[in-house]
Structure 1
Amino acid sequence: MINDEQLLNAATDTLKKCLSTANRHFSVSYPLPEINFRLRGKSAGKAYLQKNEIRLNKRLFSDNYQAFIDEVIPHELAHLVAFQYFGKVKPHGKEWKYIMSEVFGSPARATHQFDVSAVAGKQFTYQCHCSTHLLSIRRHNNVQRGKAEYRCRRCLTPLIYIKE
């Protein structure tokens, strides 16, 4: 099993390699972003544009090591490079896709397909006209407090909580 220090070293090495590639490609010298494991939940990684920071989900990284090295870290760095080079752009727009495919040589996928059962919190069952949906505890609590209403993307009807 890989320990935290080994994960952080591998992430930092990958980040340095990708940043060097981007700096050469664009003839710039962007600073190395901060990288840490302060991300929880089902997201693999998140780029904080204004802070030049990348947060990774340590559990998902440990469980999907090679995919993080090959795709997740370049994915998040591509967000930072796109912001620094092009300015404010769509998160997975043409600029980001260009950096992923042409600069880093990685697939330009917007989402991961990792098994998140180990990091998924309690989920609540909701129903629309066409299917059932699982909502996170945060979304469930927002519904219960009257702060949010969620709709099915397919049939557009409001989701109704099914008490278990």
Structure 2
Amino acid sequence: MTELPQALAQRVEACYLTAERRLGQTFPRPQISLKLRGQSAGAAHLQENRLRFNPVLLAENPDAFLAEVVPHEVAHLLAWQLHGRVRPHGPEWQVLMSRVFDCAPRARHSFDISSVAPATFPYRCGCQDHALTVRRHNKVRRGQARYICRLCNQPLKASQ
């Protein structure tokens, strides 16, 4: 498993070298961690110059992850360093993705997330089935919350 973190770090460095060559300036290297959980593949913490990546999605999709997710997150940091506060997937970020990294500027990944998707509990209203997260399910059980269907305005009830 030590090969993937090393490949990840090498890909981040390669993205920075490409950006520096194409943009004609140097950039500080970010701190990198593999401590992102959930369904997101990566996250850029702009003011901290830090990148976090999802180790499960990296292990399940190594080639696509390195080719798409790493430049995506690096482009967020570069957009911040070049332009300051901008829309997350706005024109500045899109230009970096397409012209610097030769990648399609897609805002979301298309990985199978079934292995990282949260457990859900079945609920029902008057018109359809719903899936509540563990957190919402526990709030209902403790009497701290009540959820209503947006379509039929009826309360959701646990399905048995």
TM-score by length of 1: 0.81
SS at match of 1:54: strand
Q: Tell me the distance in 2 between the aligned counterparts of 1:118 and 1:95.
A: 33
Between 21-30 and 64-73, the greater mean CA deviation after superposition? 21-30
1:160 maps to 2:147:
no
Between 127-136 and 33-42, the greater mean CA deviation after superposition? 127-136
- 8 Å Cα contact 1:124/1:161 also seen in 2: no
Partner of 2:20: 23
Tell me: CA distance 1:120–1:21, structure 2 relative to 1, closer, same or farther (3 Å): same
Partner of 1:102: 99
How many residues get paired?
158
- 8 Å Cα contact 2:119/2:133 also seen in 1: yes
CA drift at 1:23: 1.7
Partner of 1:86: 83
Partner of 1:63: 60
SS at match of 1:134: strand
SS at match of 1:59: helix
Structure 1 unpaired stretches of 5+: none
CA deviation profile, 1:32-65 (whole Å, cap 9, x unmatched): 1111111011111111111111111101100000
Q: How does 1:1-164 map to 2 (within 5 A)?
A: 3=1, 5-125=2-122, 132-138=129-135, 140=137, 145-146=144-145, 160=156, 162-164=158-160
SS at match of 1:115: coil
Q: Tell me the distance in 2 between the aligned counterparts of 1:36 and 1:145.
A: 36
Q: Tell me the distance in 2 between the aligned counterparts of 1:103 and 1:61.
A: 23
Q: Tell me the distance in 2 between the aligned counterparts of 1:7 and 1:159.
A: 46
Aligned partner letter, 1:110:
A
SS at match of 1:47: strand
Q: What is the RMSD of the two structures over their aligned residues, measured on CA atoms?
A: 2.7
Identity of aligned residues (%): 41
Aligned partner letter, 2:22:
H
Tell me: CA distance 1:91–1:121, structure 2 relative to 1, closer, same or farther (3 Å): same
SS at match of 1:9: helix
Tell me: CA distance 1:58–1:149, structure 2 relative to 1, closer, same or farther (3 Å): same
SS at match of 2:47: coil
TM-score by length of 2: 0.83
Structure number with bigger Rg? 2
Structure 2 unpaired stretches of 5+: none
